[in-house]
Structure 1
Amino acid sequence: MADADHAFYEFSDALLFPGYFGWNWNALFDCLRDLHWIPADGYLIIVENAPCLLSSSAEDQHTLFRILSWAVERRANPLGRPGGKGVPFKVLLLCDRDDEATVLAQEVARALHSGRPLPGQASVEAPGRR
């Protein structure tokens, strides 16, 4: 997923996003918030070659990390969920080498602590920040 358009395509294809998917960060955020069209007891997103994930744009990469982190946190929260049960949503970022994993972990940490809002959520803090 070298650029945002490719990332949108991959997520749309893998998660069977509906035809109204808008091919932008707000739309990705909205679809990950919903997922009613593919009900499951849990979700696992596997990103192969994760060091190349949106590597041409740190801003896009950080936006995606914040959206995915939000999905992990919010889907696990039982409040407002049918039956009062959270739904596990996990993301696995695959790296070939330890040094790649270290750099990627640092980028994820930077993204989550940037204080930047999620798409469409100007007043919402980044996941993990209180």
Structure 2
Amino acid sequence: MTSMTAWIRPLTAVDTQPWTREEVLGSHCRTAQGMFTEWAAQLGFPDYFGHNWDAFLDCLRGAVDDADHELAVVVHEAGELLADEQPNVLAILLTVLSQAAGGNGTAPGLQLLLDDTPDRLSGLAQRMAEAGYPVDLGGGGDASASH
């Protein structure tokens, strides 16, 4: 895993980190608009959230700042994340998340934890690499849930 993506990893069976943990469903995030709606609801974005990338980054930074500990967003059914969008939309999401994680990712305020079956995580890793964010989602523990 590169330092650029050190804040992205598979969800492990047992995590002992003192995270503020929020959970979203990738099946609700197949499009950018669906993702904005799901993340806004689950992370408690304010009512004035504008459902666009700039507003998403602002609200996500607010959620990171408001968290008691490092914020961990768990994406269940992660293989479906932006699956109905063009590849550049995943690149935009990963850039925004990287900005919210904080700079070079060495001490991120945000973790993206991905939960799905190994084959679906592999497909997501392929899409992430094509978007310019190579990440190893195959190692690091049990990344699958009861799918």
Fold match, TM over 0.5?
A: yes
The sequence identity of aligned pairs, in percent, is 31
Structure 2 spans left out of the alignment, 5+ residues: 1-28, 134-147
Determine whether 1:112 maps to 2:99: no
Deviation at 1:62, TM superposition (A): 2.2
Pair 1:64–1:109, CA change in 2 (3 A):
same
Query: Match of 2:43?
Result: 15
Query: Match of 1:56?
Result: 84
The one of 121, 130, 136 equivalent to 1:101 is 121
Deviation at 1:88, TM superposition (A): 3.0
Partner amino acid for 1:112? G
Pair 1:7–1:17, CA change in 2 (3 A):
same
Contact between 2:64 and 2:100, CA under 8 Å: does it hold in 1?
no
- d(CA) in 2 for partners of 1:56, 1:42: 30
Superposition TM-score, scaled by structure 2 size: 0.60
Contact between 1:47 and 1:92, CA under 8 Å: does it hold in 2?
yes
Q: Which runs of 4+ in 1 moved over 3 A?
A: 36-39, 73-77
Where in structure 2 are the equivalents of 1:24-39 lying within 5 Å? 24-35=52-63, 38-39=66-67
Structure 1 spans left out of the alignment, 5+ residues: 78-85, 114-130
SS in 2 for 1:35: helix
Instruction: Please tell me the root mean square deviation across aligned C-alpha atoms, in Å.
Output: 2.4
- d(CA) in 2 for partners of 1:106, 1:89: 22
Superposition TM-score, scaled by structure 1 size: 0.66
Deviation at 1:38, TM superposition (A): 3.3
Aligned residues: 104
The one of 65, 70, 76 equivalent to 2:99 is 70
- d(CA) in 2 for partners of 1:19, 1:75: 31
- d(CA) in 1 for partners of 2:78, 2:90: 10
Determine whether 1:6 maps to 2:34: yes
* Structure (1 or 2) with the greater strand fraction: 2
Pair 1:45–1:111, CA change in 2 (3 A):
same
